[in-house]
Structure 1
C-alpha cells in the first residue's frame, strides 16, 4: 500500500512536470492562450523587471538549496525516501508555474528575424535546444531524474560514472540544451532577454556547484572526464 501511494504521488508529480515543460516551451515560443514571455499583464518596465527577477530568484533558490548534498540528507530524514525526489520535482514544477503565470512582459524588441529561411532555422535551433535538454535526461536515467524509480523501488540508483551519448561531447548537455532554447529565437525582446540572461547566469553558477559535488562524489574518474570533456561548448578545450 505504501509503495502504491508513493508511486501515485510520483506519477502526479511527473504529470505536473510534463505539463509545465510544455507550458515553458510555449511560453518562450510566445504561443498559446496563456501568459507568454511577451504577452501578459502589463507593468512599467522597471516594475516588470523587478517582479520577474524576484520570481526567477525564488525558482533559482529552490534549485540551489535543494540540490545541495547537506539539504538532500536533511530531506531524506524529513521526507520518506520514496518520495524525496518526486517532492523536489513537484515543488520545482509549482514554482515554475508561478514564474510563467505571474510573468510581466517587457515587449520591447531587441531583434526580429523575419526573412526566410533564417527565421525557420532559428525556430529549428529553438526546438533542437529543447530536444537536447529533454533527451539528455534519458541518456542517464529519466525515471530516476523525475523520481519515479525511487517511488517504485524505495531507493535511488547508486551514482555511476557514465560518459555516453551527448555526455561524451559535453559534461552538461541538459544545460547546453536549455541555453540554446533560451537564446536561439527569431524574435528577442527585453523581457525574453531578462528571462534568458537571468537563468543563464544561474546555470553558470549552478554548474560550478554541481561540478564540485560531482568531483567529490565520483572522484578521480570524473576528474579525468572533466579534463578531456568541455562543460558546455562542444569542442572547447576544458579548463584544467
Structure 2
C-alpha cells in the first residue's frame, strides 16, 4: 500500500497546488515572439506530454500506481518478482516519464516568474525522486541495473552508447 498511498497523496497535493495556484505574471523571464519558434516550443510541450503518456503504457499501469500490489495483497497472492525491462524510450533514457514532465514544464513561449517557480520546484522534486528511485532499483535489480546506469543516461541519451544493447533486452 506504500506506493499507492504515495501516488494518491502526491496526486492530491498536485491537484491542490493547481487548484489554488495564483499566477505571478510579472516579471516575464522570457517571451518568444517569433511565430515559428512559438509553434516549436508548443510542439516540445506536447511532445513532453506524449513521451510521458507513452512511457506509462510501456510499463504496467497497475504496478506503477501501486494498485497491482494492493490487489494481490487483498487476494492473498504473492507478487511475482519484478521484471527488469527496457522497452522503447527506456533503451535511451532511464526515466522517460520524468523527461516528459520536464519538457512539458519548461517548453513555454512565455515564461513568467510563477511558471519559473513551478518548473524549477517540479524539476527539483523530480531529481530528488530519481535519487530515491535509482537507489531502490539498485537494491532490487543489483548488477543488472548498475550496468543499465552505465549504458543509459538518466534524463539525456548517451549518444556514444548507441550500438550497445541495454540490459534486459533480447
Could you tell me the TM-score, scaled by structure 1's length? 0.59
Q: How does 1:100-115 map to 2 (within 5 A)?
A: 100-108=18-26, 109-115=28-34
Counterpart CA distance in 2 for 1:209 and 1:237 is 27
Counterpart CA distance in 2 for 1:141 and 1:210 is 16
Question: Conserved in 2, the CA contact under 8 Å of 1:230 and 1:236?
Answer: no
Counterpart CA distance in 2 for 1:204 and 1:164 is 22
Counterpart CA distance in 2 for 1:107 and 1:86 is 35
Match of 2:65 among 127, 133, 146: 146
Whether 1:132 and 2:51 are equivalent positions in the alignment is: yes
Question: Conserved in 2, the CA contact under 8 Å of 1:170 and 1:232?
Answer: yes
Q: Give 2:119's aligned residue.
A: 196
The structural deviation recorded for 1:167 is 0.4
Deviation string, structure 1 residues 12-36 (Cα, Å, up to 9, x no partner): xxxxxxxxxxxxxxxxxxxxxxxxx
Counterpart CA distance in 1 for 2:128 and 2:4 is 24
Secondary structure at 1:227's aligned position in 2? helix
Question: Conserved in 1, the CA contact under 8 Å of 2:151 and 2:158?
Answer: no
Q: How does 1:85-100 map to 2 (within 5 A)?
A: 85-100=3-18
Listed as ranges, the gaps of 5+ residues in structure 1 are 1-80
State how many pairs are aligned: 156
Counterpart CA distance in 2 for 1:212 and 1:116 is 43
Deviation string, structure 1 residues 66-122 (Cα, Å, up to 9, x no partner): xxxxxxxxxxxxxxx5xx544433322211111111222211211111322111111
Counterpart CA distance in 2 for 1:164 and 1:207 is 19
**181-190 or 158-167: which moved more?**
158-167
Match of 1:224 among 147, 157, 162: 147
